[in-house]
Structures are given as C-alpha cells and as structure tokens.
Chain A
C-alpha cells in the first residue's frame, strides 16, 4: 500500500508555556530523528496535533522556520480536543503531522514595508511573521503592527509588544474595545487606528483575525490605495483531514487547508463579502 498521509508521527512535548488564562504554547519535537531531519516549514503553515483517543486539531506553527526541530504551537482552550491538549505536560507524547497549507509571502515581502494586522486572539499565526522579521530586520522595510483586542487582559505577549515598540523602524498600534487603567493605548476599534498610520505604496499587508475585522480593515486599506494583491489574509475553517480531501474547509472552490490558509485578497474577494462560505 502507498504511504498513508492520514497517519501522524510521534512527537514529544518539550515544554509547556502558559501564555494567559486560556492560552498556552506547546514546544514539540518529533521522536523519529529521520522525520526531525526532513521536516521543514514556512511561517503561516500549520500542523495537525493529535491527542491520544480524543482527536486532531489544526494549529499554526509560531516558532521560527530556521529551527524546524522545535515546533511551537500556541493554542487557545476552546473545545474538546484543545481542552485535553491543555492538560499535557513536558515529556508526554502526542501525534503530529504536517506542515500543511500555504504560508505567508515572506519572500515577496523582502525589501518592502510590512503591515501586520491581528485581531482578538487570532494573533498566533501573524506573530510568526513578526518574529520572523524581527530576526531578519535588515531584509525588510518598516514594520507596522496593528493589534486589536476586546479587553486589555486578552493581549497575550504584552512584553513582546512592548519590546517591539522600541525596535528601530517599527511602529506598534494597539487597540482595546474597552480600556482600563492598565491600558495606555487606543480604546476603540482597530480600524480607527488607520488614520494614525502612514502607509507607503511599497506596503505588503498580512492579516489574521475575525472575518468582520478583516473585512473592515480590507476596506480601509483599499481606500488607502493598497492594491488587492498586496493584502494577505489567513483564513480559518473547520479542518479535519488537512489534505484537501474531507471537504469541510472548502471556501468556494478553494480548500483552505491546502490552497490557504493564507490567501491574497484578490483570490478570495468574490466570496469574502458573503457570509456562509
């Protein structure tokens, strides 16, 4: 029989980091040295993480592709599988297969100004972009980070944002729907921050978050003459096989798990304005 693409490989939890009350990061390593040696990924790609006896879930890889042996997965506890996975400790073994999908256009972004927009808790996939650029700072132009949350406590990695603010050629804009005394930044919606930014015509945009927020941001960007093909969005859909086979993640004719999750806006524009796809 031919190779079974459904079957995971074994991986070990090297470290478990609690990021917030409901968000944690698992640092994983394949057990098999051959898999470890041959595995490579790009920012924005994801793995299927399997919890024994419970099931699989699609999680994007947030660590740097330069080290493909230690794979960080930042996970929010939302359902049956992620609840179970949150109980794992260093030393536990799980199943892991991937990487899947098409990641962020990092090569295309080289030499250009990069605007990273994230909303809510969906920031993990673009944090890989920020980290990637931060480590290769000279290869990119200005980095602008726009992050919106509902409440100040929803901002994970606050220390990282505070560090990024101080980086050269980097601007960070943060917004919370509701503020509190701990929140020195904007109170309101992410889209309200666009007026504070100056976007060069050399800007490439990478965006991830709730679709309503992404829609509003796309409108703002188009108003500011950012071309459709320079706006990239990471889409999220029900994923079960990650092989473009089970049909759940279809977005029109695209299989998000295979043709995405990162799309340029012009690719998905015809359906993006409609709910139900």
Chain B
C-alpha cells in the first residue's frame, strides 16, 4: 500500500484548477447538480454548476433540499442516485447481430462511449458500494464484464468526507463511513472548510493530480477543523443490528414480519434502483424494423418485478412477500456467501425513496429481535 501523504490545502477558488487539469487529461467530469429538486450526478465543466449552500433533508419517503446560505458546495449528503448508473449503465448494448442477404448471421461488438470519467462527490458509502459492484462485475468467478471494466479502469474519483448526516444515514453501523479511509478506493478525498478543502490523495493518479496543483500543506488548525466537521457526520440516528445478519435472516424465512412488510411494500422497485450495490439486469433483443440488424441490450432489472423470477409459465416469486424477502435476504445474507460481506453500505437511499417509507433498519431490527423464535421449522 502507498504511504499516505500529509494532507494539503486546496483554496476554494482553486477547485476550478483541479477541474481544468482533469479535463486537460481527457477526463469528462461528473459532479453533483440540482435537477428537478434533487441532487444528481451530471456532466459539468465549471465549479459554478455545483450546488452552493444546498442541504438535503431525508426521512422515510421524504427528500427535500434547503438553502442554508453558505458558500459550501458539498453541504448535501446523498445524491438521489449513486454513481452506479455511470459505470453499470441502466441501458446498454452488449453486442449487435446482422443478417446478410444469404441469411447468414454476423456478430459484432457494440459501439459504446469510452469517455474517461472523473466523478466528484462520492461519499464513503458510495466508495464502499463501488467496491461491491467491482466484486460483482469484475469477479474472477466469471468472465469480467468488459463494459463495466472499461469505464472503471479510467475512472478518477474525488471523494468528499461527509460533514453532516441525514436521517436516513447508517454507514457507521455497516462499517463503511462516514469518513473515507485511505483504503476506501479514492484518488483524492476532500473535506470542505469555509475557505477551501483539506485534501488527501489515495492513489498514484491522485498524487500526480494533486502535485500539479502545487498546494501547500494543510495547517494543524485546518486539519483540526476538518476532523471536527467530519465528526458531525457520525451523529446518525439509524443503524443495522449487526454487520452480519446472514444466519439470522436465513433462519427467519417464515417470520410473520415478511407478511407485515408486504402489506406496505408496493413492489415498485425504487429501492433496487437507488441501491448502489443492486446488480440485476435483464436482456432483450431489439431488432430493426427492416430485419437487417438486431441489438442485444441489457437494462436494469429488479427482483420486485414479476418477470425477474419467471420461467416457462412459473413465477417463482409470485407475491410481494417473496420479493421483499428475496431482496432483503440477498442484500444482508446471500452477499456474505457471494462476496464476503453484506451488500449494504448504509447509504439510506432505499429508506428515503421508498414511497411507503419502509425502513430496512427497522425491519432488520424486528427480524433480529425475534431471532431463534421461528427458526426451529
């Protein structure tokens, strides 16, 4: 592992310089912006596009932005959607088939954008989720996904240390945050102060980019202030009962709580869409009307749809109870067997964006509290 350098200080007016340098290196920058009343990742060239003085307020089924009048660009905590769509595209062509005049088929590679991305704004929970997606899409257990790999390879990550927590946050309890530790997988991590940023590099690439900025070392006062602000983010009101719920959940498959949850769950799939680790996708063939070519495409899928478990006339998960149980047992139990840890990094998006406001931490607490009472069957 690389020896960590002491933190530097990036004055607020020099963040643009960082953007310029990255763009000169051929990176397209994605950063947080306010679109339709939510913070989302979108392309940007200038710091003027960043959401200044914008705070997000979350609760089950509730998300509101408020202006706090500050100059800060990163007073928000969670983007509506993580970085998942930028690497594992919601819609993507896997290959193309053409049919010539003789009726013979030809298979070709798709034409996909190969832009080098730099993303600013990832939080510790997002970095942890990125590692989870890496484990799945770059797994040596199967052929790595070439599309994910191509984007991931050139990704430059500017992480932001949280200086607030919102009501849906529980990354402390999953062990994934709120601070971005040196092994979290960032190129640069920054903590925002009034006058600028305390900045550390976490990779060789990050070091090179920081070096180009010719920054001075951060003062002790600046480091102390950063640490103090970061400490604010540890005040979280939600928590998972345990970082390993594997046995608890697999022993609670007949728990009455699944029925109770199903009475509220709309099976809409919002949770799987905003979940930064969910990886399911479906495939379909899109043929041209003239029959000359057809594209094999994949599209995000959700275990909350009927089609997800469909096979020749049988739907394995025919009701909401089974679909929610599939989601929760996969996320918090199956992931341990598949990839060595829980599939949840505590970002809380599934709580915020669930229309009836189902709170997984509360549901896990109930399933955990009653453990042992239902597992003799």
Q: List the A side residues contacting B62 at CB < 8 Å.
A: none
Asked if B287 and A4 sit within 8 Å, CB to CB, the answer is no
Complex CA–CA separation, A270 to B106 (angstroms): 45
Smallest Cβ-Cβ distance to A9: which chain B residue: B107
Asked if A241 and B107 sit within 8 Å, CB to CB, the answer is no
Asked if A79 and B137 sit within 8 Å, CB to CB, the answer is no
Q: Is A20 an interface residue (CB 8 A)?
A: no
Q: Is A8 an interface residue (CB 8 A)?
A: yes
- Contact (A93, B309) CB under 8 Å given A54-B285, A248-B282: no
B292 → chain A closest CB, angstroms: 10
Asked if A52 and B109 sit within 8 Å, CB to CB, the answer is no
Report A242-258 residues with CB < 8 Å from chain B CB: 243-248, 250, 252-253, 258
Asked if B279 and A247 sit within 8 Å, CB to CB, the answer is yes
Asked if B294 and A7 sit within 8 Å, CB to CB, the answer is no
Asked if B97 and A4 sit within 8 Å, CB to CB, the answer is no
Asked if B250 and A276 sit within 8 Å, CB to CB, the answer is no
Contact of A95 among B97, B283, B317 (CB under 8 A): B97
Asked if A6 and B95 sit within 8 Å, CB to CB, the answer is yes
Asked if B301 and A237 sit within 8 Å, CB to CB, the answer is no
Q: Is A37 an interface residue (CB 8 A)?
A: no
Binds A, one of B143-151, B189-197, B350-358, B363-371: B143-151
Q: Is B280 an interface residue (CB 8 A)?
A: yes
Smallest Cβ-Cβ distance to A236: which chain B residue: B311
Smallest Cβ-Cβ distance to B325: which chain A residue: A276
Q: Is A238 an interface residue (CB 8 A)?
A: yes
Write the B128-142 contact mask toward A (1 if CB under 8 angstroms, else 0): 000000001101011
A11 → chain B closest CB, angstroms: 9
Q: Is A68 an interface residue (CB 8 A)?
A: no
Q: Interface residues of A toward B: which range?
A: 35 or more
Smallest Cβ-Cβ distance to A252: which chain B residue: B334
Asked if A52 and B97 sit within 8 Å, CB to CB, the answer is yes
Complex CA–CA separation, A207 to B105 (angstroms): 37
Among B142, B284, B307: residue with most chain A CB under 10 A? B142
- Contact (A250, B94) CB under 8 Å given A1-B150, A244-B141: no
Write the A42-57 contact mask toward B (1 if CB under 8 angstroms, else 0): 0000000010111110
Q: Is A10 an interface residue (CB 8 A)?
A: yes
Q: Is A2 an interface residue (CB 8 A)?
A: yes
Q: Is B257 an interface residue (CB 8 A)?
A: no
Contact of A245 among B104, B142, B294 (CB under 8 A): B142
Q: List the A side residues contacting B313 at CB < 8 Å.
A: 78
Complex CA–CA separation, A243 to B97 (angstroms): 20
Asked if A243 and B253 sit within 8 Å, CB to CB, the answer is no
Asked if A270 and B250 sit within 8 Å, CB to CB, the answer is yes
Asked if A238 and B95 sit within 8 Å, CB to CB, the answer is no
Asked if A258 and B142 sit within 8 Å, CB to CB, the answer is yes
Asked if A5 and B143 sit within 8 Å, CB to CB, the answer is yes
Write the B94-114 contact mask toward A (1 if CB under 8 angstroms, else 0): 110101000111110100000
Pick 27 A–B contacts, CB within 8 A, sort by A: A1-B150, A2-B146, A5-B145, A6-B296, A8-B95, A10-B105, A50-B296, A52-B287, A53-B287, A55-B283, A56-B285, A93-B103, A94-B105, A95-B105, A238-B316, A240-B281, A241-B283, A243-B145, A244-B141, A245-B136, A245-B137, A247-B279, A247-B280, A248-B309, A250-B334, A253-B334, A253-B338
Given A246-B280, A248-B308, A252-B337, 16 other A-B contacts at CB below 8 A? A8-B95, A50-B97, A76-B312, A79-B312, A237-B311, A237-B316, A238-B307, A238-B308, A238-B310, A240-B281, A244-B139, A244-B141, A246-B301, A247-B279, A247-B281, A275-B316
Q: B interface vs A, CB < 8 Å?
A: 94-95, 97, 99, 103-107, 109, 136-137, 139, 141-146, 149-150, 250, 253-254, 279-285, 287, 291, 294, 296, 298, 301, 303, 307-313, 316-317, 321-322, 325-326, 329-330, 333-338
